[in-house]
Amino acid sequence: MIIPAKNKPVLPLTISVKEIESIVEWFDQHQRSLYIIGWSYLGSQLKIEELFYRAILQVHKELPKFTRSTSFELRVLSIFIRICRELSIENSLIASEESIFHALQQLKEQEREVLVLTYIKGFSREQAAQLFQVSPEEIKELLFSGFQLLRKGLGNGECYQGCKEYQKLYVDYLERKLERRRKIDFEMHIYHCHNCQDDLASLQETILNFSETIETFSEPAGFMENVKERVSQRENLLKQKKTKRKRIGLILASVLVLFMCTGFFTGIFSKIYYSLTEENQELRVFLQEDLGERLGLEAESNGVKIKIKSVIADEIQTLIFYEIEDTNENNQYMINIDDGIFIEDEMKIMVANTYPRYFPPDMELDLNKKEKNIYHGKMSLRPLKENDATIQLNINKVMKLKRNSSGSYVNMVPEEGEWKFDIPVTKNPSVEYALDEEVEIEGAAVLIDKLILAPTGTILQYGLKNEQPEKRIEMINFKNLEINNKLAEADLYGNSYVHAQNDLRWSKFQAHFKPLFEKETDEVKVRFDSVYLSIVENKTIALDASKVYPQTFEYAGSTISIDKVEVGQPSIVVISNHEIKNRAYESLNFNIVTEEENISMEGDYKGVIVDKNGKEYDMNKSPFIYEELEQPRHFFTVQSFKIKGEKVVPKSLDIFGYNTTKYLDNEVELDTELIVKDEAGT
């Protein structure tokens, strides 16, 4: 007979929500069994100390939500196991030197947890079933499969083949839980079946070995003292912060009285007040400039709480600052404006021919590093038509943020829910200045058209010629603008097409810069960073699938290789050039001519990213963060094409030209002319 460990659940009579010491004491009383559970996941004392520390804090945080319908111990163990899982994912597993634990660490998550709870914590199957929200019968099946895998992990399970219908009774028989009639039938079968005899004996030996290991296992002396010290230090720090907040509150109260008495409450006080009370530095500046107010709208779904902190609106966009808290686990979520949000009557209240700005997840923001379960973000919506409106925002999906293994970028996993907000918004005015000056950049004409000073951003509108010269600017990257001796840095994601084009000679674009909160200026300095050029240079190269490849040809000062021309289903053409140093082009504009018309092609491209200093980054191998590179260029190295159809024959490679980036150091100083709008905004 196998008897589970004797330490039965002991429920505390009273635990104070405010006193974390009582929770620490409960963990101290149960440290041995909890330590063994932690060891089965982590195999490291340092990690288990971190496990105990996090679990104590999380229990203290969730304690007000505990109910009498579920035992205290079950709730604590649910939290404890959840953090075990998190730490086992965050850290590479250190296998225990003890062979039983090494084998235990290889089990599937649920099988391992059922074994440790029933044979370490002494839980009944009913208690384990309640914790994992499964039936007691499923717990029995998990016990059997867990011990089978444990036996296999110890190198003893390959040669045992008991009868499946009787294997289901092994655990009940060994724990003396079989009713008499079934027990007699089972023993009669075992007496005659040598396979089941060997199988049962081997499994019993594994269970005995496991139980003996647990009984002789002991946690390190003084283990809980380290955990208690960390909790104590944290509590002292929190008390200091509370004292500091009280002191700040007294100072604010004094300042409030002072400014109210002197008549300077508006403006000066708001700058001091928000500098002390608003964590988000970007939002803080808007609030200090009196461009918005705190809202504090909240909605919760599936344990994910979204708070709308504030809205800053102008004629460019409606900028919403939000905060998302995972109240159950340590996940961070963001809102994706392209997936999961709906605005009622959007086209009635918002300007139709505009598109919201894109803001990627900002995991490097100090606030987003502060707490693992809270994300601070912003999203851009279309600008309002009227000065005042209520935005009925419905969100049915948020994106869970997770870094990839290299930590270089963030994966977004959608999770559904339902969050609804009625958001009151007041639009702030913007000021527009006409510039209307044509300049020459890299031999091509550029129209510097308009300057817009808005609360949420500074915008420079410019135009590119619609003609098709031999050298054409496709895109301009600006360095900064200087207005009233203030620099506005360019926004990396800030180039947008102007949909309302009133001059057919030019294609108008808007470059976005950081806000300066300026309303008047008589001049602006424009500094350029780089241009992306399209160069016309025609060349035709005959293709012949009967020839031996690779073959090379010269173009734009480079030697380009035709690696493959193959007729089949599909037909394939591959060209390459891995030499990028001093190469004139970054990518080629070309077409593959075939004997047939109206064919379809599928392309595949490989390349490298090169920063201004010449350092290369392989897009498929090297981890890097694109936003942190200085003036990156993208060089294509291999271009492969599959031509779909019945053995389509490629005849020639027709090159029309190429694209390249030129770095600039140009500066243009322009006078401004205020544009006065009528009541209709024209």
Range of the domain at 498: 431-532+666-675
pTM confidence score: 0.59
**Which residues face 433 on adjacent strands?**
451, 674
Give the pLDDT confidence score for residue 335 in this predicted structure: 94
Q: How many CA atoms lie within 13 A of 452 on its CB side?
A: 21
Confidence grade of residue 19 (pLDDT, cut at 50, 70, 90): low
Domain membership of residue 473 (yes or no) is yes
Look up the CATH number of the domain holding residue 354: 2.60.40.1630
Instruction: Determine the Cα–Cα distance for residues 448 and 401; give it in Å rounded to an integer.
Output: 40
Count: domains in the chain: 4
Domain membership of residue 255 (yes or no) is no
Give the pLDDT confidence score for residue 678 in this predicted structure: 46
Within this chain, do residues 517 and 596 fall inside the same structural domain, yes or no? no
Give the pLDDT confidence score for residue 654 in this predicted structure: 93
Within this chain, do residues 63 and 41 fall inside the same structural domain, yes or no? yes
Within this chain, do residues 622 and 647 fall inside the same structural domain, yes or no? yes
Within this chain, do residues 417 and 269 fall inside the same structural domain, yes or no? yes
Percent pLDDT > 70 in the chain is 82
Concatenating the DSSP letter of every residue in 585-653 gives: -SEEEEEEEESSSS-EEEEEEEEEEE-TT--EEETTTS---GGGSSS-EEEEEEEEEEEESSS--EEEE
Domain membership of residue 256 (yes or no) is no
445 close to 473: Cβ distance less than 8 angstroms: no
Domain membership of residue 123 (yes or no) is yes
Within this chain, do residues 596 and 491 fall inside the same structural domain, yes or no? no
Closest C-alpha to 657, from 532, 533, 536: 536
* Structure token pair of residue 406: 């290299």
Look up the CATH number of the domain holding residue 48: 1.20.140.160
Domain membership of residue 68 (yes or no) is yes
Within this chain, do residues 439 and 397 fall inside the same structural domain, yes or no? no
Q: Are strands 600-610 and 633-644 parallel, antiparallel or unpaired?
A: antiparallel
Mean pLDDT score of the chain: 81
Q: What is the CA radius of gyration of the chain?
A: 34
560 close to 553: Cβ distance less than 8 angstroms: yes
Look up the CATH number of the domain holding residue 465: 2.60.40
Q: Using the 3D structure, point to which of 367, 396, 426 is the last residue of a domain.
A: 426
Within this chain, do residues 407 and 459 fall inside the same structural domain, yes or no? no
Domain membership of residue 135 (yes or no) is yes
Residue 119 has pLDDT above 90, yes or no: no
* Residue with the two structure tokens 């040598």: 194
Give the pLDDT confidence score for residue 511 in this predicted structure: 92
Tell me the per-residue pLDDT of 202-227, one tens digit each, with 9 for 90 and over: 777 777 777 777 776 767 777 788 78
Tell me the per-residue pLDDT of 576-593, one tens digit each, with 9 for 90 and over: 999 998 899 999 988 899
Within this chain, do residues 53 and 114 fall inside the same structural domain, yes or no? yes
Within this chain, do residues 646 and 566 fall inside the same structural domain, yes or no? yes
Domain membership of residue 187 (yes or no) is no
Instruction: Determine the Cα–Cα distance for residues 341 and 423; give it in Å rounded to an integer.
Output: 14
* Structure token pair of residue 348: 């009635």
Concatenating the DSSP letter of every residue in 395-460 gives: EEEEEEEEE-TTSSSEEEEEEEEEEEEEEEEEBPP-EEEEEEEEEEETTEEEEEEEEEEETTEEEE
Q: Using the 3D structure, point to which of 376, 395, 426 is the last residue of a domain.
A: 426
Within this chain, do residues 491 and 540 fall inside the same structural domain, yes or no? no
Tell me the per-residue pLDDT of 122-167, one tens digit each, with 9 for 90 and over: 777 777 777 777 788 888 788 887 777 777 777 665 667 778 788 7
Within this chain, do residues 473 and 413 fall inside the same structural domain, yes or no? no
Residue 257 has pLDDT above 60, yes or no: no
Tell me the per-residue pLDDT of 606-649, one tens digit each, with 9 for 90 and over: 888 888 888 888 766 655 566 667 778 889 999 998 888 888 99
Residue 400 has pLDDT above 80, yes or no: yes
Q: Using the 3D structure, point to which of 401, 426, 451 is the last residue of a domain.
A: 426
Domain membership of residue 562 (yes or no) is yes
Within this chain, do residues 400 and 274 fall inside the same structural domain, yes or no? yes
